[in-house]
Amino acid sequence: MAGRHFLDLSDAGPDAIAAMLANAIDRKAARSGWPKARPDADQPLAGHVLGMVFEKNSTRTRVSFDMAMRQLGGAALVLDASSSQLGRGESIADTARVLSRMVDAIMLRTDDHAKLEEMAHHADVPVINGLTDLSHPCQIVADLLTLIEHGKPLPGLEVAWFGDGNNVLNSILEAAALMKFNVRIATPQGYDPDARFVEMARAAGASVVHTRDAAQAAEGADVLVTDTWVSMGQEHTHNKLAAMAPYQVNEALMARARPDALFLHCLPAHVGEEVSEGVFESPRSVVFDEAENRLHAQKSVLLWCFGKL
């Protein structure tokens, strides 16, 4: 296969992630103030097309990959499960083989991570993880970019997570392993992250403190992060919301963190649930920079997948 799959951050590794972040910073600066659809001067993906397959909803991932391809000189198209043959039972394997004949890379957003691996196994072109129930690596490249831009070098950073131990947290733990920062996790019983990601971070030398006490996790942290309490495809149960309530990122929790601590959220947010309006709208909240950085991060991911980084 020409090119490389990006199923998780470890596929790239620390040096490539550092290169992606540096490239994103350079490209973002080089086109500052330009009309959004004007291609970058070098058009490194001219003549290339990305096929995006969505088995779940998306705003940021869909728009950022589409605009990323335009800015890199290429194009993108979308297949929704509901309107494609995937939604009528055509296999992932056959879809991968067909798309490989017509597009130069595939981005898949799906539920079961095994479907992503199957897509990669059968595709002859790079496959990118646009979110699975297990992980969301593209989001984390944007998050790391946002932290660096806001003056927070990654090594040794204390990143605190509150609420549901979900796909986004799993990828933060993988990033901690690769980029040498530390993670404090505050989740209620029964909603812990995947143990393999905790182990990966610890094995790489990152400190991972897991507590049921949100205040303890926030104490002196550099970054506070949360996400929806109910991810796509999950049940919206009263029990889960009740269990999550003590883990809301609010002004009292922010007050325990460093005075210059930042607030991150991958969005979409449920203001009043996982985050208070006061924190979400505060100057320490950089969630819309983080959302914009999906575009700049996705360009770097694409360039790496095409062997151009």
Catalytically annotated residues: 109, 136, 139, 227, 266, 294
Site for ligand NVA in 115-174 (CB under 6 A): 131, 166-168
CB nearer to ligand CP: give 54 or 181: 54
Closest separation in Å from C-beta 209 to ligand CP: 25
Please give the size of the binding site for ligand NVA, defined by CB under 6 A: 9
CB nearer to ligand CP: give 206 or 264: 264
Candidates 77, 98, 232, 252; binder of ligand NVA (CB under 6 A) is 232
Q: Are 147 and 262 in contact (CB under 8 A)?
A: yes
CB nearer to ligand NVA: give 104 or 274: 274
How many angstroms separate the most distant Cα atoms in the chain?
A: 54
Residue 168 near which of ligand CP, ligand NVA, none (CB within 5-8 Å, type-dependent): ligand NVA
Distance of CA 80 to the CA centre of its chain: 20
Candidates 100, 187, 226, 228; binder of ligand NVA (CB under 6 A) is 228
User: Reduced to 3 states, what is the DSSP secondary structure of residue 209?
Assistant: strand
- Nearest CA to 62 among 125, 133, 128? 128
Q: Are 187 and 163 in contact (CB under 8 A)?
A: yes
Site for ligand NVA in 163-222 (CB under 6 A): 166-168
Give the nearest residue (CB) to ligand CP: 61
CB nearer to ligand NVA: give 104 or 133: 133
Q: How far apart are the C-alpha atoms of 70 and 300, rounded to whole Å? A: 13
Closest separation in Å from C-beta 35 to ligand NVA: 27
CB nearer to ligand NVA: give 125 or 175: 175
Angle of the 9-30 helix axis to the 137-149 helix axis, nearest 10: 50
Closest separation in Å from C-beta 224 to ligand CP: 17
Q: In this chain, which stretch among 29-37, 112-120, 225-233, 256-264 interacts with ligand NVA, using CB under 6 A?
A: 225-233
User: Residue 153 — φ and ψ, nearest 5°?
Assistant: -60, 145
Q: Does residue 266 bind ligand NVA (CB under 6 A)?
A: yes
Which residues, 6 or more positions from 41, have their beta carbon under 8 angstroms from its beta carbon? 30
Residue 228 near which of ligand NVA, ligand CP, none (CB within 5-8 Å, type-dependent): ligand NVA
Closest separation in Å from C-beta 97 to ligand CP: 26
Pick left, alpha or beta for residue 182 (phi over 0 → left; psi -120 to 50 → alpha; otherwise beta): beta
User: Reduced to 3 states, what is the DSSP secondary structure of residue 32?
Assistant: coil
Binding site for ligand CP (CB under 6 A): 58-61, 131, 139, 266-267
Residue 167 near which of ligand CP, ligand NVA, none (CB within 5-8 Å, type-dependent): ligand NVA
Q: Are 254 and 284 in contact (CB under 8 A)?
A: yes
CA-CA distances (angstroms) from residue 237 to 147, 233, 242?
33, 12, 9
Q: How far apart are the C-alpha atoms of 248 and 272, rounded to whole Å? A: 8
Q: In this chain, which stretch among 74-82, 190-198, 227-235, 270-278 interacts with ligand NVA, using CB under 6 A?
A: 227-235
Name the residue type at position 306: F
Q: How far apart are the C-alpha atoms of 111 and 129, rounded to whole Å? A: 11
Residue 59 near which of ligand CP, ligand NVA, none (CB within 5-8 Å, type-dependent): ligand CP
Q: Are 24 and 188 in contact (CB under 8 A)?
A: no
Which residues make up the interface to ligand NVA (CB under 6 A)? 131, 166-168, 227-228, 231-232, 266
